[in-house]
Structures are given as C-alpha cells and as structure tokens.
Structure 1
C-alpha cells in the first residue's frame, strides 16, 4: 500500500525540473559570449595595427590604401586568415589562438542549437507518447537513443569548453594562467566523460526476485480450472505460471522472474495468500479478472518492453549525476525523464480503469469495490502492524506479524474509512502505479462515501479461492515464518543504532554489536568502544558526545577536537594497519551519530504528538 505521489502544479514542476534543465545552456552561452568577445578584441587589435601600417606605407597609392583599409575594416582578421592569401599575416601562435576561439564558438553554437533541437524533439515525443502504449514505447525508444547520444556529446563538448575557459579567462583578463586550475578542470572533465561512457556500456543485471511458491497445474487443479473460467470471461489466454506469496498485492507481468533457484518467463500471475483469505469468492473473481484484463490489453507486453529502457535511462542519469561537471546535462535529461513519468502514469491510470471496468462487467461493481476496499485496508493495517513491531526498542523473541494482523484486522477494518487521506491511498504494485481508491471506486460506480462501502469492508471473507490452492495454509505459514525471521534479524541489526545506552539492557544490546576494540601501535594502545576512544599518550579519553570535529591532515594524523577545545592527535603512521584504525573510528562514531539522530527524532515525535 502506498500513498498517491504528490501532484506538482505547473509552477512547481517548472521549478523542480524544467528550470534546472535550462542549466545545460549555461556553459555554452558563457563560452559563446566569452570567445566572441575575445575574438572581437583580437580582431580589433589586429585591425588597428594593420590600418596603421597601411597609412604609414609610402609605397602605396591613395587608391590602394583606400582599398586595403576598406578590406581590413570590413573583414575581421579571424575570417581573413582562413583564406590562403592572408593565412601568413599572423604568427603560428596567433593562428592557434584564433583556431581556439573559432572552435570555442562553433562548439558553443552546436551545444546551444543541439540543445534546442533535442528539446523540441523530446517534447514532441513526450506529447505523442500520450496517444497509446505502442506510440509511448516507440517515442520513448527513439528519444532515449537520441538523448543518450546527445548527452554524451554534450558532456564531451562542455568538458572541452570548460577546459578552454580555465586557461583563457585568466590569461585574457589577468595576463596569467593557473596550471593547477587547468589541471583540475581537465581531470573533472575526464571524470565526467569516463562516468558517462561507463554508464552507456556497462551491462546491467535486472533480475527480479519474487518471494513465493509456483503453483503447478497438477498440484492445484481446482485453482487452474477456476482461473480458466475467469480468462474465458475476460477473453484472454491463461497465464504460464501462478506464484502464490504473502505480499499484500496481486499483479501480472511478462518480465522474467526468479523464484527460489529457478527463473520463469512468459505470463505470470502473482496471488497473495494472505489477501485471498480476506476476500469472498466473488471479490477474488473481480481481482483476478482485473489482472487477466491486463493481459488482454497487452499492458504487460508494453511494460516488459518499456521497463528495460527506463532502467537504462535511470542508470545513465546516475552516471551523469556522478560525473560532477556533467550535472547540467543530468538536469536536462532528468527533466525529460520527469515528463515521461507523467506520460507513463497517465497511461497507467487508463490501463487500471480499463481493467477495473472489465472486471466489473465480469463480476459486479460491488465485488470490485469490496475487493479494492479490503485489499487497501489490509495493506494499510499490515504496514501499521509492522511499523509498531519494528519500533519496539527491545530484542524480539519473535516477530508475530501475521498473528497480530489476523487478530486485529477486523477491528481495524471497522474504522478504516475514518483514516486520514483514505481517499488517496493506492493498492501496491511492484511495477506500476495505480489511481487513488476514491477515483477507482467512483469509476466502478460505488463512491467511497456511500453507506455500502463500510458494509462491503466489514463483511468477512469466505476465502474460497484460498481453499482452491492445495496446501495453502502450510505454504502461507512457511512463507510467513521465513519473512518474520528476516524481519526479526533486521530489527536486531538496527537496535544498536538506536540507543545512547541508559539502562543495562540497552547497554548489553549496544555492546554485543559494538564490543570494545583495542589496536596496538608503536606509541601505545588505542581503545575504542561505543562511548568514545582513548589512547595511551592522551591525558584523558574522548567521548563521542564531546567530539566536535575529526579530520585527517596531510601527515596521516587524525585530529580530534573536543568541546573543551582540547586538540588531540593520533598518528596513523605509528600503527601497522592504519586503515583498520580509520574504519574502526568511522564505524563506532557513525553508530553514535545515528543513535543521537534517532533519539532526537523520537523526542521530537513525542513532543509533536503531545502538542
């Protein structure tokens, strides 16, 4: 279960995505203005020198002088030297400078014009993608390839422009150049280029793991027989496999999935054992008809095609973000990604409304509405139970998530419709987003505020489909046990990061995960525990609660500054394995900072609740 994502206003969307995207023009525009200016300056200097020489040349007639002055006044030197007859008028150094200006201007114009063209092309593709799933896939595929090549070219061009600016800005305005600045900019440009190249060619492993059990046809013939009836009503073929799990959702996909040690391809239906127990047979019919309708509309086909493109796109964005100087290109690409997300969500909503309509026609509006209400209520309650158990600040002997859900769900369902923002809640899904509960109930003809909603929500389920799965109770029990074991283990891992120990129990939890560490050095013993650190030559230990600053200097010394302004140094060269010292200090101090932040959050939450 998840809440609907925030809908950006037009102004909010522009501030968040479109305005940052315009940063792609910053470096080329600055470069264009600068190189035009500096080229003009050099042209003016050359013109004044040549005109002076012409006037002083006594060998020329008045007519020749007039013609020469007209030529050099009308045509700048930067253009004249491109003609073979005038190429030798400047030195090799001057020719190189002019070539630098010329290419700086060309690259800047290419970057600016290319950005405008790609922006328009991308906008056309985004608008076209709203028409249908097929057009959406084609437009996304085309724009992805164009944007990928454009982004790589922009990183290269803007890296070259920055490198050129790092020399010419100081050389022109201050008559000097800074080798360190040039080297740093060059290195940053190379890092950005390397990051982009890596993101383009790196092979991605997109394995989707699903927790559950594949239900074979001969193992549960009643399930497959009923499912065949649903498919006949919807007008689609049967799924290739059915996976039964305990996640709080139902979904279909044609992406390759890994279940246990085996991979599955083709059309997959995932059913939730825990939810099937809560639904009536007719409500489960509606849910499964909804899922099969996605097959009939080829929704899963296009999701399978589009998903790898989005993964590649997001990975490429990550490479641009990590490139540093490629951030302007990142914001440009991210703006288009956000626009496509709007398109994807709009068509996703259309697919869900279509599947709801087909399911309603195959069953009834009440069945579809009742299923939606129960699924979202169950998902909401499960999240609430898990959060309450996870927040317990003690070692759990067991994490009885399923038991607490079973014992309390009926009472929770009775008050669910009074939950704040209940109308905006959505069913969860591993691949797609869904319209809000209010919109979906309105579409099937059973408004959320109607009196029937509470009646449908409170009606106990008969678990008819649950009973059609052979050994369902054992399967569910085993999966819950494995899940709760993982839940408890993770909870125990997080406990030491919550406490600034005040009781013996809290201290025992922290010390178990963070026992005292002793590292022997040439000058004595370094001791680190959950509370702080001490060294043989120090006057007193340093408590993490008193530590204000910790930095390593050029001489491989850790410099600690305590609240009492007492500077303390630790020479890492005196330890046989300096990296172990660094890792130990980071690990124990990070635990303290995490616990401090957690306690402040808890205190703030308690205060807010009280107010």
Structure 2
C-alpha cells in the first residue's frame, strides 16, 4: 500500500509540474499582452474621445461615426484587420517590428505554445492508453510517442525560449519604461542554449554498453547442462539459446539484445545462469528456473525487450538531459509524465509475463519446484546484499580478497533461522535486470502452491541432493576468476568511499585520502600560487589558509580585472556573513581544473562531516 501511495504521489507531482512548466510562460505572456493591449486601447480611445469632444468643426453625427469606428477598431485589432477599407489602419498601427506587431505575434506564439502543449498532453494520454492494449501496439505506440514527444517538446522549448527573450525586454519596457541590455542578453543566451541543447540532444546517439559480467559456457564445458537446456527448450516449444553465460550475479535471465561478455560481442538468444545460485538449488528447482527463463524466449518477451530497450534508453537519456539544460525543463516533465504512463503499461505486462513463465515452469517440473527456487533465490540475494552492505559500511580498508562467497555460504543457513529473515522475506522479490517481478506470495498463488512463511527457513537450509554445478567442470574456475574481479572492484569502490568518509586521524587514513585527493597547486600571476587540499584552500597572495570547516559557501566571480573566488564564512561580518575574496589572476588554462578541484575537495569535506555527524548520532542512540 505504501508503494501504491508513493506512486500516486509521484504521478500527481509530475502532473502538477508538467502543467506548470508547460503552460506557465505562455499563459503569463497572454496575460501580459492582454493587459498591455487593453490598456493601450482604453488610453487611445479616451484620447480620441477628448479630441473629438474638443473639436468644434465636426458635427455630432460625424463625431459619433468616428467614435463608432474606433470602438469597433481598437488598436489591438489592427494586425488582424483584413478588409480593404482597413488597410490604412493596419499599415499605420501594425507596421513591422512596431509595438503592436510584436505583441500580436507574441500572442500568437503563446497561443501556439498552449495549443501544442495541450496536444502533446492528449497525445501522451492516447499513446499511453494504447500501450495497455497489447505488446504489438505497445511497441508501435512508443515508437510514435518517442518521436511525437521528443520533437514536439523540442518545438515547445523553442517557442517558449523565444517568449522568454521577448518578455525580458517588454516587461521592464512597458511597466518601467526602460529596458536592461544585460537582462535581455542573459535571457537570449539561456534561450539559445536551451534550443541548441534540445535539438542537439534529440540527435545524440545513446552509448550502447550491454556488458554481461560472466564467462561464456560452451557445450563442451558442460555438455549435460546444455543437453538439459535444449530438452527444456523443446518442451517449452522454443529454440534453445545461442549462448549460455555463467556468472556470479544473483539472478537468472534471458535476453536477445546484443551483448558483450569479457570483451566478446555476441548476438542472438542469451541465457545467463548464476553459479552461486545453482549451488543452493537442486536440479529440479534449477530446471524450474531454466524453464521459466526459456518460457520468456518462447513467449517473445525477450524479442520485444530487445526491440524496445534501445528506444527506451534513448528516450530516458533525452528526458533526463532536458532537466539540465535550463529552459529545457519545459520539456522534461512532459517527457517524464509520458514515460511514467508507459511504465505502468510495461509493469502490468511484466507481471503477466512472469505469471505465464511461472505457470510454464510449474507445468514442466512441479509447482513446489518453482516456488522453492523463488524462496531460495530471494533469500540468497537478500543475504548477500546484507553482507556486502555491512562490508561496505566498515571503516577499515579491505584487501583484494574479501571472501564474500564464503561469508554468504557460511552465514545463509544461520540467517534463515533468524527473526530478521521472515521480515525481509515478506517484502522479497526475485532480482532481475530487465523487468519488475510480482511479490513472492502472489507468484505462489499463481502456480497454486502456497508455502507458509514459517517453513521458508527449512527450505533455505535444506541441502540440495544434487545440483547442476556438479555437471560443470569449469564452475569452480569461473567462480574464482569472477569473484576475484568483483572483489577487486568492490575494494576499490570501498576505498574511494573511505577517502570521502575519513576524518584522517593517522598515517594510514591520511594516505587513503591523499590517494584520491592529493594536494593540488595552481600557478598565479607574478610567481604566486594557490593550493587546494582536503584541508582547505591557501593562496600565497592572500595570507592565511582557509580550512574547509570555515567555508559556508563558494562562488566564482568574473571581472574585468581578473576573476575571484568568493568564500563565505559562517561567522558574521559588519552586517552579513564575512567573506574572503581570493584573486585568481594568471590561472589562464588552469581555471577549469582549479574550479573542478575546489568543487570536488569541498564536496569531499561536506560528505565527511555528514558521515561524521551520522556516526555520532547513531552512537548516541
């Protein structure tokens, strides 16, 4: 229920932000143009009335005739006047680039942006609804939606960027009778950057990196396992996989997307098997899992995912990059809204695919086999995750050989007897890299074999009578190589996190911090220099070092006589917070590197203090 509430809140938030960003600028433009033009019309008509009233040469009938004309032809209507008798009126009032000409086209552009925004919302709803019908329509609707949403949002960004530039001049010019070149310049630069970013990102290629961490398992490496896979595939009614990849991740999956394994590119149908999980599953349970994955191949699930996956990836990249392009935020939330609607359709289909694959597996093996495999996989993956989290949270460096597999193997059965085990299993799901899986209890009901949660522990603790690992002569060597690579990466990531977390108190901790945050020196004008370190900033031209603990905020100011770094301190000055200005004259090409170093080292310090505070808070509890 909490998940459903969170989804509803997220959807409501995205809807509100979509409507706000999509319609705010055009609506504001319309309100401004309507107010300005109406005020101009009223002022002009009052002047006409005053002049006609004061004109003694005109008869009352002629005065009424002229008043009727100006009442029927306000200045704001000049640009839309098309009659032959209105040509002079149009030419005099709506001269190209005049105020009324600009307001007329700004109003048209704002109306166009509003209509386009409304059309995109309707398209998002309609195409999203089609995605719920069936898989074929889902793919077609997303291909159409991908083009409509990305191209439409790029046009929307262009229109609204033009409106922002126009407003930056006319708001101040109209209300205060003056304009600010700098404001117009900033708006123009932001608009140009947004339009460029939207169009550039639209045609930007998405990097493809479907790396599978594992090793290819040939039929000669495990002939009986391959034979069993081929037999199960025939019973499912599908062709066997072209490749089998053995790895140490805590899942099984199939894919038809192009992949890379140990630097080798592979095409076709690929089955990933987890060697650690095969050790805890008996052959019947493993057969159930293999049949489940082969059912995905037979049902066309992987083919659909292979076709849709790259487009989803490209759409997601475009969506999130629109968040960081300034005015492109106009498009970001619209794209997110469409993606959320489409994700709901994908999630529903994913659940149905899992239910179908489970039923196929239960029919080919036994209902209890698929259920017990799900319980064991959930327990193993959950416990391994706990072990790795505890190791990562430790404040001491690890060696390259952590023995994670041994920790998990030794601790899994005691864990299955603990009170925390049942609590974790109640919300457990089977990990999978390509789709979301239904809760464990729902999958049990789907195959008609419910297991009481009090027996979960006994299922996990049961030793498999036989396993497919026994038929894999290369299994031990594969695991050894993969665990060695994984633990080396784990240790490196952990050590990097320690470089952020340490408040260095000894030589070893200081060495770790310096390995990732060495003292950096930058040359300044006239032989000066400025140093950035994990301790703080020190400029040879500005006296004492400034420790990071004294820094409240940082900002870079560009000036005609040289750039400066402004450090705002926590303590007060005469009126506001005390500041220190560090001159950066002479940095030249080093400036980008200097700014990056300042940002990274200060960020490290903030993370360090936050970790320290959290640790103290935990200790107090």
Report the TM-score, using the length of structure 2 for normalisation: 0.89
Q: Report deviation, 1:336.
A: 1.6
Q: Report deviation, 1:276.
A: 0.7
Please tell me the root mean square deviation across aligned C-alpha atoms, in Å. 2.9
Counterpart Cα distance in 1 of 2:368 and 2:69: 88
**Secondary structure, in 3 states, of the residue corresponding to 1:86?**
helix
**Secondary structure, in 3 states, of the residue corresponding to 1:38?**
helix
- 2:154 touches 2:195 (CA, 8 Å); kept in 1? yes
**Secondary structure, in 3 states, of the residue corresponding to 1:244?**
strand
- 2:26 touches 2:110 (CA, 8 Å); kept in 1? yes
Counterpart Cα distance in 2 of 1:62 and 1:593: 80
Unaligned runs of 5+ in 1: none
Q: Report deviation, 1:251.
A: 0.5
Question: Which one of the candidate residues 210, 213, 234 is aligned to 1:211?
Answer: 213
Q: Are 1:556 and 2:553 matched, yes or no? A: no
Question: Which one of the candidate residues 416, 430, 434 is aligned to 1:413?
Answer: 416
Q: Report deviation, 1:306.
A: 1.6
Residues 430-462 of structure 1 show CA distances to partners (whole Å, capped at 9, x for unaligned) of 221111222222322333535543432222224
- 1:254 touches 1:304 (CA, 8 Å); kept in 2? yes
Per the alignment, residue 591 of structure 1 pairs with 604
Counterpart Cα distance in 2 of 1:214 and 1:425: 30
Q: Which moved more, 1:393-402 or 1:153-162?
A: 393-402
Q: Are 1:544 and 2:557 matched, yes or no? A: no
Per the alignment, residue 13 of structure 2 pairs with 16
Q: How many residues align?
A: 605
Pick closer, same or farther for the CA change 1:551–1:162 going to 2, 3 Å. Answer: closer
Question: Which one of the candidate residues 493, 496, 499 is aligned to 1:493?
Answer: 496
Q: Are 1:477 and 2:489 matched, yes or no? A: no
Question: Which one of the candidate residues 25, 30, 33 is aligned to 2:31?
Answer: 33
Which gives a bigger RCO, structure 1 or 2 (Cα 8 Å, sep 6+)? Answer: 1
Per the alignment, residue 74 of structure 1 pairs with 72
Residues 173-206 of structure 1 show CA distances to partners (whole Å, capped at 9, x for unaligned) of 2222222222211111111111100111112222
**Secondary structure, in 3 states, of the residue corresponding to 1:326?**
helix
**Secondary structure, in 3 states, of the residue corresponding to 1:443?**
helix
**Secondary structure, in 3 states, of the residue corresponding to 1:249?**
coil
- 1:47 touches 1:77 (CA, 8 Å); kept in 2? no
- 2:153 touches 2:331 (CA, 8 Å); kept in 1? yes
The correspondence of residues 386-401 of structure 1 with structure 2, limited to 5 A, is 386-397=388-399, 398-401=401-404
Report the TM-score, using the length of structure 1 for normalisation: 0.90
Pick closer, same or farther for the CA change 1:9–1:550 going to 2, 3 Å. Answer: closer
Counterpart Cα distance in 1 of 2:121 and 2:263: 45
Pick closer, same or farther for the CA change 1:563–1:59 going to 2, 3 Å. Answer: closer
Counterpart Cα distance in 2 of 1:58 and 1:377: 99
Counterpart Cα distance in 2 of 1:412 and 1:351: 31
Unaligned runs of 5+ in 2: none
Question: Which one of the candidate residues 319, 341, 346 is aligned to 2:348?
Answer: 346
Residues 216-254 of structure 1 show CA distances to partners (whole Å, capped at 9, x for unaligned) of 234332122101111122121111111111111000111
Q: Which moved more, 1:176-185 or 1:462-471?
A: 462-471
Per the alignment, residue 6 of structure 1 pairs with 3
Q: Which moved more, 1:331-340 or 1:32-41?
A: 32-41
Q: Report deviation, 1:363.
A: 1.1
Q: Which moved more, 1:568-577 or 1:267-276?
A: 568-577
Q: Are 1:510 and 2:517 matched, yes or no? A: no
**Secondary structure, in 3 states, of the residue corresponding to 1:269?**
strand
The correspondence of residues 526-541 of structure 1 with structure 2, limited to 5 A, is 529-534=533-538, 540-541=544-545
Pick closer, same or farther for the CA change 1:93–1:176 going to 2, 3 Å. Answer: farther
- 2:248 touches 2:276 (CA, 8 Å); kept in 1? yes
